[in-house]
Amino acid sequence: MAGGMEHDPDAVRAYAAVIAEAASQVEQIQAKMGAKDATAADFGNSWKDDQGAKYDKYMAAIAADLGNLTAHLSEVSGQLSQGADVVVSAESSGLKNIKEIDSRLGSEE
C-alpha cells in the first residue's frame, strides 16, 4: 500500500464485524431504554412535580442518542467492509497490471 502503510483486509473485515455486533447490541439497549416501562406508581412521590416529565424527556433523549449511535456504528461497519473489499480489488488489479507490464518488458528484450 502507498506510503508504507500495510493492512490486513481480513483484520479490517473482522473489525467491521465487531462494530456491526456493537451496533446490534446498542440497538437492543435502545429498545429497552425507549420502552419507558416505569410509571408514576413505580416512583410514588418522586414522580410529582416535573420529575416524572423530566424522566420521560431524558429517557427519550437517551433512546434517540442510542439510535443515532446505532446508525453511525452500522455506517462505519459498512464502510470498513466496503473499503477492505475495494482495497483488495485495487491491490489485485494493480498486481495484475504489474505482472502484465513485466511480461511485456520481458518479451521485448
Quick check: is 75 in a domain? Answer: yes
Q: How far apart are CA 109 and CA 105, in angstroms?
A: 7
Q: For position 1, what pLDDT does the model report?
A: 44
Quick check: is 10 in a domain? Answer: no
Quick check: is 87 in a domain? Answer: yes
- Which grid coordinates are listed for 12? 479490517
Quick check: is 45 in a domain? Answer: no
Q: Side chain identity at 51, as an amino acid letter?
A: Q
Quickly list H helices, 4-108: 9-35, 40-43, 51-108
Q: How many CB atoms lie within 10 A of CB 61?
A: 11
Quick check: is 95 in a domain? Answer: yes
Average pLDDT of the residues in 10-38: 88
- Residue 32 CA, distance from chain mean position: 20
- Which grid coordinates are listed for 18? 465487531
Quick check: is 28 in a domain? Answer: no
The larger pLDDT score, comparing residue 106 to residue 55, is at 55
Average pLDDT of the residues in 83-92: 60
Quick check: is 16 in a domain? Answer: no
Domain ranges, residue 73: 52-108
Question: Could you give the number of structural domains in the chain?
Answer: 1
Q: What is the pTM of this model?
A: 0.63
Q: At what angle do helices 9-35 and 51-108 cross, to 10 degrees?
A: 170
Q: How far apart are CA 72 and CA 62, in angstroms?
A: 15
pLDDT (tens digit per residue) in 49-67? 787 778 888 888 999 999 9
Quick check: is 96 in a domain? Answer: yes
